[in-house]
Structure 1
Amino acid sequence: MTTDDLPAGIGAPATRALHGAGYHRLEDLNGASRAALAALHGVGPKALRLLDEALAARGLTLAA
């Protein structure tokens, strides 16, 4: 199993939603659609902001 490195601050509902959609690492989210992530139950503006910040720190981004 891969190590989960999603930011803890996104909250449990967002983490569960991302895991359910197959995202376990920040690298998995690179290029993922922001709209698709926002449509996941539990992934709101705060989670997206924190994911943006964590991705940017690694030189990664979400797709528009």
Structure 2
Amino acid sequence: MEKEKTKRTCKYGHTFYKSTDCPTCPTCEKLKEPASGFLALLSNPARNALLHYGIDTIEKLSNHTEKEILRLHGIGKASMPTFKKALEDEGLTFKQKE
């Protein structure tokens, strides 16, 4: 049985419908998406996870090992090919184990 959707308005005046308690406004989320750079290639959960940990450039991503990145909530194995390609395009790689 599907829960009924309720009409909501975010603090910026966007109106949307949700069937869960999630307060996230879809319009605001769309406006936050970067237009270019490697972050633009990622899903919202993956992008938000990196930004939460201050990883907002490809150089900062290269300072971490694959395992460190995979441990972040919101990052899954499906994101790794995108990360590797973006790093490769800039002549970078993930940090190797010490």
TM-score by length of 1: 0.81
Runs of 4+ in structure 1 over 6 Å off = none
Of Structure 1 and Structure 2, which has the larger fraction of its residues in strand?
2
Counterpart position of 2:26: none
2:93 to 57, 61, 64: 61
Distance across 2 between alignment mates of 1:32 and 1:7: 16
Q: How does 1:16-27 map to 2 (within 5 A)?
A: 16-27=48-59
Structure 2 residue runs of 5 or longer lacking an equivalent are: 1-33
Counterpart position of 1:11: 43
2:39, 2:56 within 8 Å by CA — same for their partners in 1?
A: no
Of Structure 1 and Structure 2, which has the larger fraction of its residues in helix?
1
TM-score by length of 2: 0.56
Q: How far apart are 1:49 and its partner, in Å?
A: 1.2
Which of 1 and 2 has greater Rg? 2
Instruction: Using the aligned pairs only, state the percent identity.
Output: 27
2:82 to 40, 50, 62: 50
Q: How far apart are 1:9 and its partner, in Å?
A: 2.8
Instruction: Report how many residues are paired.
Output: 62
